Amino acid sequence: MKNFFAEKSRNKTFLGMFALVSATSILFNSCNQKKDRKESEKMIPHQHPVAKTVPKIDDENVPSDKRVIYLTFDDGPNRGTENLLKILNKRNVCATAFLVGQHAYGSKKQKEGLELLRKDPLIELANHSYTHAHNKYTDFYKNPDAVVHDFNAAKDSLKLNNKIARTPGRNIWRLNNITATDIKSSAPAANSLQKAGYKVIGWDLEWKPNNTMSLKGNHEAMLKKVDSIFFNDLEKTSRHLVFLTHDQYLTDADSIDELDQFIEKLQKSNRFIFRKISEYPKINEILN
């Protein structure tokens, strides 16, 4: 049975506690260092804080009043990648970038984006395929061998040092302890990736775009969704939430500000730990 979230019977709304938390609360953020408040409000590109080394945690030793959030961003390097890095460095919070091989060499700007991602200690790089299925997902997943070949090409071209992967256009999980496939016809391809040694990670919550490819809705609505997932124990691993959005949604001032406020309020709640996806529970266990 999964643990319930911070004595749910006495806490009807988790994120509603924001109003009770002092602005001077210590941020319980495992990827963060304390920074001067004025410095934290600056958005200085290319000047990266040193990621703090902390003991690894799993769901057994996360304090009962804390939850772990894994910020993940797909389809980079892309439009919006540099804006994403500015937000993460402003808030000094870590994240995982799931990269598309072709995007890394599609233009001079994308090549520069890849180098920025590589150099940033707050960012971990992972595999989101080489072609992104050419956005023809049904055809792509019909050929499991071709899918594995596509991910291998991305791993080699991007020089990735892990086999953590996310499938394009599908919310699929293939870990030693989690198997989930949103569209069942994709299962053979997902199984082939797992047999090839890939650790396939989906997501628990996605911030989707509107019809102008900007972030849909606002940060307050997303905070309520985080609250709901934890309160109802809907995450794949109890007390661990994988959050997804995309670099290319961060090209307008409103979207940039909304993501920034979302992260800031999660931090100020003093209820969350931020981790890179390589620290997700049991992700490094040998597959059966």
CA-to-CA distance for 115 and 205, rounded, in angstroms? 28
Side-chain half-sphere CA neighbours of 101 within 13 A? 21
Q: Which residues pair with 173 in a beta bridge?
A: 180
Is residue 53 within 8 A of residue 231, CB to CB? The reply is: no
Per-residue pLDDT tens over the stretch 169-181 = 999 999 999 999 9
- For the chain, the domains span 64-279
Q: Which of 108, 48, 79 is nearest to 212 (CA)?
A: 79
* Contact by Cβ (8 Å): 166, 186: no
pLDDT of residue 140: 98
Residue 195's H or E segment, with its range, is helix 187-195
Residue 241 has pLDDT above 80, yes or no: yes
Alpha carbons 128 and 168: distance in angstroms, whole number: 6
Helices (H), 14-143: 37-40, 81-91, 108-119, 137-140
Q: Mean pLDDT check: name the lowest of 56-65, 118-127, 138-147.
A: 56-65
Q: How far apart are the first and last CA of the chain?
A: 23
The predicted pLDDT at position 88 comes to 98
Residues 6+ away with beta carbon under 8 Å from 250? 80, 83, 84, 87, 215, 256, 259
Give the H/E segment covering residue 262.
helix 253-268
The pLDDT tens digits of the residues spanning 269-281 come to 999 999 999 999 9
pLDDT tens-digit readout, 190-227 = 999 999 999 999 999 999 999 999 999 999 999 999 99
Closest residue by Cα to residue 118 from 198, 167, 70, 46: 46
Query: 285 falls in which pLDDT band (50, 70, 90)?
Result: confident
Query: Which has the closest alpha carbon to 62: 241, 284, 266?
Result: 241
Pick the CATH number of 64-279 from 1.10.3720.10, 3.20.20.370, 2.60.40.10, 3.40.50.2300: 3.20.20.370
pLDDT of residue 7: 41
286 with 176: CB under 8 angstroms? Answer: yes
**Residue 13 pLDDT > 50:** no
In degrees and rounded to multiples of 5, residue 194 shows phi and psi of -65, -45
DSSP state of 9: G
pLDDT digits (tens, 9 = 90+) for 23-49: 444 344 457 544 444 444 444 444 444
Q: Taking 60 as the threshold, does the pLDDT of residue 242 lie above it?
A: yes
Q: Respond yes or no on whether the N-terminal peptide bond of residue 209 is cis (omega within 30° of 0).
A: no
Q: What is the pLDDT of residue 16?
A: 47
Say how far apart CA 134 and CA 139 lie, in whole Å: 10
Tokens of 174: 């293939």
Residues 14, 258 contacting (CB under 8 angstroms): no
88, amino acid identity: L
Residue 124: which of 162, 152, 154 has the closest Cα? 162
